[in-house]
Chain A
């Protein structure tokens, strides 16, 4: 019998709060129990027979005898779990916290909200922009996408040019706060 505990967080399909859990594993059987703080009446524990003959995938059986097929893979800090055709993504709770702290420092960039192509950059370095002003036109998913400034400020850097392909989260512009304009 091997007992274990951990803290995880679901990030897909729905982002959830971190939860603590305990597991007990013995001879292909796993008992999983969520720690307290979970709403009354919801499903908090399960016992599964797990069989994994190939790396990265396996079968599990519930106590009622139903068989489910699953597979898993690590994608960076994320654990991707495929279960009967649907994807569930988890992170260890502590890695998520680090990620969040880094994100908070990530300044006032205007980011691409989805992958696509830059059609036009409507501002130049040094330009003063107002909150909600259209700064970049993108095309994504065969639609034109209007990118606006999240706040007023001065364009410190233009990071892309028309025609360029960008991925989601890529920086389009760097906005300096207006107080920095003299820098």
Chain B
């Protein structure tokens, strides 16, 4: 086994990986940008290396700096987490070149699966259903017009190198096709350095159901069941659960087998996730993409199976055989995860920056919190606004949703706006409770994205505000400088996004 592992990431996932490394007796090495000095992911590591700079490009996306940090600290392996460089074949290769183990699949399978069109070919070869699509085309190509003719509108424009909702556009009208293709291409060029786009048939109101896969380097591949990730905003998941309320045992088996067949066809090694679109009416499912990394929502799988996916990633990367058999995989109970974001659920999910003046997460039976922040820390404009993930487990779905709802109502977070009230409203929503929802859930239920305080609650809030305004300024003065400007513990001035709002509204 390795002795020292550099975690090339930040926030909650770096903290979570540090935990497993320490439990396995391995030394975690953190890297950190300037705004992240003193962050939880640094403090939970055994040693740390500063990366000069603030932006992601200068720090967590900088291959040369990360490889150098690994060499300087004497790490023999690198865990990339998710996001940043986790699916970048160049990074995996750069690690290999200097004799450092990259904890994840080979650069070759990463490159293969990172390309939506090539991964589609793999799915077809493995006998896995895919969404009909047109090959890579330019705006104005006859092939694009032909495809639009065949399938009609709406249809999807996707980036070949895409992921995470980037470079993706829903085209509603013929006259928008060229413009949307150009914009998606520009977005993809900026995000991935690859502006190729293609067209795909639009599956209306699908559910997003994905399967966790584990594969060792000795040809043994299994799946760990599904995760339902249909509650999304802007094509990004905010709530995930397992098991999915939409799957019958028969469908689960077919989709699980398809996921394993695809991973085998791709020669995949380590932990990965095969994403499907599921038409809940017909029960038809289509391969969407395979993510060659650990997923944000992996804790719900861990909760129902009682295993540690990061531990398995490390053991597989170390060449150990996967000792679990498919027949051993018997989920117990139900788990749900909510992503806590610093964003305004009532204003188009605009990110909120500032200082976390109060941060006291709930605790209780069946609860797990993966957090990368702490009280007094700044939430900056530089990185993803996800603060933490709250996971609730119980024997039944009904009970785990209720545990989650209670926990959300007790989650004390102040200083930035969070999406906690929205998450709570979803937990209370009758349709969600019944398990009848798809990726359009938030669109169909706009009431969830509006505040819903009762008259009595509003009056109570006003009364408490009047009372609080009379109190001497209390503990928040810790974070106030002599000049009255609020700063995080890192000394950064905190900017309140909606204080500066309301000057000139841009179209």
Taking beta carbons and an 8 Å cutoff, which residues of A are in contact with B? 4, 6, 8, 10-14, 19, 21, 23, 25, 30, 32, 34, 42-46, 48, 50, 52, 55-57, 60, 62, 68-88, 90, 92, 103, 106, 108-111, 113-117, 119, 132, 137, 139-144, 147-148, 150, 163, 165-170
Contacts and interface: CB of A to CB of B under 8 A. Distances in A.
Given A56-B358, A114-B351, A168-B350, 7 more contacts: A13-B451, A19-B462, A73-B475, A86-B421, A88-B453, A88-B465, A142-B166
A32 B451 contact: no
A149 B463 CA distance: 43
User: Which 9 residue pairs are nearest across A and B when measured between Cβ atoms?
Assistant: A169-B500, A32-B463, A13-B451, A55-B474, A43-B455, A85-B409, A168-B497, A72-B468, A115-B381
Contacts of B410: 69, 85
Interface string B325-362: 00000000000000000000010011101100110000
B150 interface: no
Contacts of B451: 13-14, 86
B414 A142 contact: no
B499 interface: yes
B468 A13 contact: no
Contacts, number: 222
Interface of B: 54-55, 57, 164-166, 183, 186-187, 190-191, 234, 236, 346, 349-351, 353-354, 357-358, 381-382, 408-415, 417-418, 420-421, 424, 451, 453, 455-471, 473-476, 486, 495-507
A144 B424 contact: no
Nearest to A114: B350
Contacts of B408: 85
Contacts of A88: 453, 458, 461, 465
A61 B49 CA distance: 50
A3 to B, nearest CB: 11
A54 to B, nearest CB: 8
B476 A21 contact: no
Nearest to B473: A74
Nearest to A47: B463
20 contacts: A32-B463, A48-B463, A50-B464, A62-B456, A72-B464, A72-B465, A72-B471, A73-B415, A75-B476, A82-B358, A82-B413, A85-B420, A88-B453, A109-B503, A140-B351, A141-B349, A142-B234, A142-B236, A143-B165, A169-B503
A44 B459 contact: yes
Contacts of A57: 358, 412
B460 A60 contact: yes
Nearest to A115: B381
B464 A73 contact: no
Contacts of B499: 76-78
Nearest to B420: A85
B415 A80 contact: yes
Contacts of B415: 73, 75, 80
A113 B506 contact: yes
Contact of A78 (B351, B420, B496, B502): B496
A46 B458 CA distance: 10
A134 B17 CA distance: 43
Contacts of B455: 42-43
A74 B476 contact: yes
Given A14-B451, A92-B469, A48 B496 contact: no
Contacts of B503: 103, 106, 109, 111, 169
Nearest to B472: A55
A178 B500 CA distance: 27
A57 B475 CA distance: 10
B497 A115 contact: yes
Nearest to A15: B502
A86 B381 contact: no
Given A4-B470, A115-B351, A144-B186, A103 B502 contact: yes
Given A6-B469, A87-B421, A141-B234, A43 B459 contact: yes
Contacts of A86: 420-421, 451, 453, 457
